[in-house]
């Protein structure tokens, strides 16, 4: 239940009082705990990410330990999140460029949020890495298809 009242002490400002809707189903922290600061929404990080980037970021937040560290192989991530290898690589590389995660080998670290959202570069869409051949191949195929359409 939400109760809205007018507080005369603050010039008629509306104050919202929230009450629990279902007291039998209150959340409790047991075992692991995922943390995403409210700044992720209020400072525009959420709206700066595309769906694949957001999916991967939230997954990494959920599986990371208190230091933001987690290990999941790319095939496990792709399977769990239903992403192709190229979609995973693009999302991962974009999150790295946006300074939201660090990645080394197979170890991820969700980083403390930067001062403000970092815009992703659209020019490095297919940057080489350990799986760069796959990404470059997809880019070359797309480029060749677009060139054929222009003829």
Q: Which parts of the chain register pLDDT below 50?
A: 123-134, 151
Q: In this predicted structure, what is the pLDDT of residue 95? A: 98
Whether pTM exceeds 0.85: no
Q: How far apart are the C-alpha atoms of 65 and 69, rounded to whole Å?
A: 5
3-state secondary structure of 101: strand
Q: In this predicted structure, what is the pLDDT of residue 29? A: 74
**CATH fold for domain 37-141:** Arc Repressor Mutant, subunit A (1.10.10)
Q: In this predicted structure, what is the pLDDT of residue 32? A: 74
Give the contacts of 84 (CB within 8 A, at least 6 positions apart): 78
Q: In this predicted structure, what is the pLDDT of residue 97? A: 97
């Amino acid at each position: 239940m939400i109760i809205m009242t007018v507080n005369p002490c603050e010039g008629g400002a509306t104050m919202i009082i929230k009450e629990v809707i279902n007291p039998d189903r209150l959340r409790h922290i047991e075992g692991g705990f995922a943390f995403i600061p409210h700044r992720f929404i209020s400072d525009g990080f959420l709206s700066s990410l595309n769906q694949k980037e957001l999916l991967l970021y939230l997954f990494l937040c959920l599986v990371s330990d208190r230091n933001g560290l987690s290990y999941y192989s790319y095939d496990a991530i792709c399977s769990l999140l239903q992403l192709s290898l190229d979609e995973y690589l693009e999302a991962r590389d974009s999150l790295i460029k946006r300074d939201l995660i660090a990645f080394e080998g197979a170890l991820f670290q969700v980083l403390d949020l930067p001062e403000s959202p970092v815009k992703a570069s659209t020019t490095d869409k297919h940057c080489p890495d350990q799986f760069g051949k796959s990404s470059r191949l997809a880019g070359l195929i797309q480029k060749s298809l677009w060139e054929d359409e222009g003829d």
